[in-house]
A and B are shown apart, each in its own frame.
Chain A
Amino acid sequence: MNINTKFICNIFAIVLVFTAITFANDNLQSAQNSKKYTDECIKCHSENDMMPEHFSENDIHLQNGLSCAGCHGGLSTSADEEIAMSKKNGFVGVPTKKEIPNFCGKCHSDISKMQVFQARISTDQVSQYYISKHGMQLKIGNKDVATCIDCHTSHSILPASDTRSTVYAANIPNTCNNCHGNSDLMNKYNLKSNQVEEYSKGVHGIALLEKHDNSAPACNDCHGNHGAAPPGVKSISHICGSCHVNNMNFFNNSNMAEPFAGLEIKACEQCHGNHLIAKPSDEMLNVKTSTTCTECHDKGEDGYIASEMFYEKLTQLSELYDSTKAMSEKIAIIGMNNIEIEYELKNVKQALIQSRTLVHTFDTSKVVGRTNEGVLASLNALKLADHEIEEHDNRRIGYGISTLILILLAGALYLKIKGLNT
């Protein structure tokens, strides 16, 4: 046997062994699946490689003992296809898109069935769905809209608390984007398809998707989930106000609330946007560079003057806060105690934050009053800082003098010893 023949034989042997192992493994997997499931539907579908797409063993229904027949009907104990999938045995097969909500609602709208799994579970998902834009469109036969399975999947449903779930807080934007990011589909309904793109650049999207802060709102927190609908003029401040409580209360009690409602201007959205909500800054109030206020208020009007004053006061306090903070850091670097200065700084920061929130009252006296308190706290912190610097300088001078005395003493001692020796 020459070298080439030997080499080919070796390769052939390796391929043969590998194929045998793979085949044995597949058979073993299949045998394991058959053994693992007592359910004849899964046994048969898995043996014939006819399992539904994206089927997951972690599916919440399967994990809770609900198998194929629980939704699709039929007799799961029979290995005979004709018997197992007969209408006589309640087999309903795959529901049409229009049937899906009620198909899931067979259990999810029945409190007696659902209470078995969770005591305080809600069962209004289907009724909410039918008053949503999706549900209303489905009712009239629109097959483009999302039903239960478009958000939750059909055979790999996981609880919302599971990070792998399509409805886990951080995954919701992507789930919604599956349809709402499809420009061809959205164009049919004159809807934008860049909401998630905008959202992910906004303050909420950055908090949820980049900083992994699950308390930040995803799509469903503002639009609802099962009863999803775009917020109207009247509801928008309440939606934002569910988290931004003070801002909502200040705005609703301000003299701007009525004109906004009268002109059908969306309260928060008018100034802050909707999906692409940028981090608010004092610059929004700068009449020279921003149109937040000047879009409606011309020069000389009360709103224009108020905006100028808000900007001036807030930037003054903000700059004072920065310089005081820098001074506090300097105190720490030179090794002096800045704890009291830091506490005063907290008061300055608090005054700054509250003043910014008070802008939503559109009341100059309230904003000016709070910023002035912040200025006083900042001046107090700077006074404390000056005291620490003075103390540091005094210590340094004292230490220098005492060192000089010690050196002179040491020198004199040296000369004295030298004198004694000679």
Chain B
Amino acid sequence: MGTNRRKFLNSLLGIGGIGALSAIIYPIMSYLVPPKIAEVKVNSLKVGPVSDFANINSKIVKFGRTPVILLKDNQGNFKALSATCTHLDCIVQFDNEQQQILCACHGGRYDLTGKNVSGPPPKPLKEFNVNIIDNEIRITSQEA
């Protein structure tokens, strides 16, 4: 009877030991060989208060891995567009004099809606949504 009880307890301890060892080994293995999970996608970005744009009419912000150009037109409306030129991926800039978006690499130009109007860019700039919530500018992806 005593031997049976000891056998049962040893088995229980053995099973518990294997479980505990697995609980240690599994995270170690996961750490050493990271799973190929996709990076968390940024869908929304708080840019800052509207007052930041009192004296400027464009700003390039980091929307995850995507640079986004935030523009303010003469009526005070905001527009957010991808800041990556569709030609060779250079970062575009706002040309205040021409009221256009300019890519300095090859002189490509876009109008303020992001449409390619001159030079080599083959496609328009991707558009992002702009919302103003409690006087704070938020950019959201249109795919979100």
Contacts and interface: CB of A to CB of B under 8 A. Distances in A.
A78 interface: no
Contacts of A339: 62, 64-65
A353 B62 contact: no
Contacts of A334: 34
Interface stretch (A157-165, A266-274, A291-299, A402-410): A402-410
B122 A215 contact: yes
Interface residues of B, number: 30
Nearest to A250: B107
A219 to B, nearest CB: 18
Nearest to B116: A215
Contacts of B34: 334-335
Contact of B118 (A213, A245, A335, A350): A245
A246 B107 contact: yes
Contact of A346 (B21, B89, B107, B122): B89
Interface in A327-383: 334-335, 339, 342-343, 346-347, 349-350, 353-354, 357
B132 to A, nearest CB: 26
Contacts of A216: 122
A247 B65 contact: no
A335 B120 CA distance: 37
A18 interface: no
Contact of B62 (A244, A343, A417): A343
Contacts of B119: 243-245
Interface string A390-413: 000000100100010011001000
B13 A417 contact: yes
Given A243-B120, A350-B90, A403 B28 contact: yes
A357 B106 CA distance: 7
Contacts of B116: 215
Nearest to B39: A332
A406 to B, nearest CB: 6
Contacts of B84: 346
Nearest to B123: A215
Contacts of A343: 62, 67
A56 B120 CA distance: 36
Interface residues of A, number: 30
B24 A350 contact: no
A249 interface: yes
B17 A414 contact: yes
A213 B122 CA distance: 7
Contact of B106 (A246, A399, A407, A414): A246
A244 B13 CA distance: 76
Nearest to B35: A335
A342 B119 CA distance: 26
A318 to B, nearest CB: 14
Nearest to B121: A215
Contacts of B118: 245
B17 A407 contact: no
Contact of A349 (B62, B90, B120): B90
B104 interface: yes
A350 B108 CA distance: 14
A406 B28 CA distance: 12
A124 B108 CA distance: 29
Interface in A245-272: 245-247, 249
B91 interface: yes
A403 B24 contact: yes
Nearest to B28: A403
B15 interface: no
A247 B120 CA distance: 11
B65 A245 contact: no
Interface string B10-37: 0001000100110010001001001000
Nearest to B37: A335
Given A339-B64, A403-B28, A407-B24, A346 B91 contact: yes
A357 B105 contact: yes
B9 to A, nearest CB: 8
A349 B65 CA distance: 15
Contact of A244 (B20, B24, B120): B120
Contacts of B67: 343, 346
A350 B105 contact: yes
A60 to B, nearest CB: 27
A403 B28 CA distance: 8
B107 to A, nearest CB: 3
22 contacts: A215-B120, A244-B107, A244-B120, A245-B108, A245-B118, A245-B119, A246-B104, A249-B107, A335-B34, A339-B62, A339-B65, A343-B62, A343-B67, A346-B67, A346-B84, A346-B91, A350-B105, A353-B105, A354-B104, A399-B31, A410-B21, A410-B24
9 closest residue pairs by CB, A with B? A245-B107, A246-B107, A215-B122, A335-B34, A353-B105, A350-B90, A243-B120, A245-B119, A213-B122
Interface of A: 213, 215-216, 243-247, 249, 334-335, 339, 342-343, 346-347, 349-350, 353-354, 357, 396, 399, 403, 406-407, 410, 414, 417, 421
Interface of B: 9, 13, 17, 20-21, 24, 28, 31, 34, 62, 64-65, 67, 84, 88-91, 104-108, 116, 118-123
